[in-house]
Amino acid sequence: EKAGIDAGGTLCKVAMQTEKGWVYQSFPTKQMKECIRWLNTHCVHRHLCITGGKASIIRAKLKRQDLTLIPEFSASCAGARELLNNEGHTSLGDFILTNVGTGTSLNHVKGMKQEWMGGTGVGGGTLIGLSGLLTGVYDYSKLIQCAEHGKRDSIDLTVARIYEGETPPIPGDLTASNFGAASAESISPSPADQVASVIGLVAETVTSLSVLAAQKAEVKTVVYIGSSFVDNSLLQGIVTRYSRQWGLTPIIPEHGSFCGAIGAALS
């Protein structure tokens, strides 16, 4: 029996295989002590496989001999395959795996192998950090709740607004400039509007990169994972719509934030 741990920059995710299916748990990486205590109570009889940027810190604190370190990208890709299989996407071919964690990474998943295609520093950390600087609120669930009723049109500039009355060469509803409509003259937007625009920036950045990666890799499916999608219907919605506009099939698996931990547990 194994347990997989994905210790990322923001959250530490744990996945355990049981007769009833996968059991999940997560902790803020800043509260490492709590995570170690939980692992020492719930995973004593399990072999632990650890991945993520903070894997060796966890290993040092656990003081156990039976620990295996797993490379992050192979863990998340293996975990994504497992989750997609469980969700009924059985005949899925190759795809782009876009992991929107603290930062964002893109992999081309080919069979059981993967190739890193790059990434962007715009990710879930940007969602919290930039929203925090704008509104003073740095709490993830408060921010996504706040953004739910936010409107982007006083902050973001669409293509249609630049082409006023003319026929634009590309769809008018695309964002021409994130935050490009903000100015000293316009009335200051509400915190809800500001956070919605930050989420729009993150969503459109990670989707644009995914579209280009999918074109380069000649695949039609993009699988989006990472905790940035948790309870975040705004991010999910923009990413889904924008991917479809480009003729791609987006998949955002439930529990996609646990891909790394699942992949580690299966290794």
How does strand 113-120 pair with strand 47-51? unpaired
Give the residue, chosen from 4, 8, 125, 200, that forms a contact with Mg ion under the rule CB under 5 A: 8
**Is 72 annotated as catalytic?**
yes
Q: Which is nearer to ligand ATP, 51 or 240 (CB)?
A: 51
The interface with Mg ion within residues 91-120 (CB under 5 A) comprises 101
Q: Which is nearer to Mg ion, 50 or 182 (CB)?
A: 50
Query: From CA 264, how far away is CA 64, in angstroms rounded?
Result: 17
Instruction: Find the residue with minimal CB distance to ligand ATP.
Output: 8
Q: Which does 125 bind (CB under 5 to 8 A by kind): ligand ATP, Mg ion, none?
A: ligand ATP
Question: In sequence order, what DSSP letters do the residues of 164-184 get, joined into one string?
Answer: TTS--SS-TTSEEETTTT--S
| Cβ atoms of 214 and 220 closer than 8 Å | yes
Residue 218 CB, shortest distance to ligand ATP, in Å, is 27
| Cβ atoms of 221 and 172 closer than 8 Å | no
Q: Which is nearer to ligand ATP, 8 or 253 (CB)?
A: 8
How does strand 47-51 pair with strand 67-69? parallel
Residue 159 CB, shortest distance to Mg ion, in Å, is 33
| Cβ atoms of 201 and 178 closer than 8 Å | yes
Binding site for Mg ion (CB under 5 A): 8, 101
Residue positions annotated with a catalytic role: 72
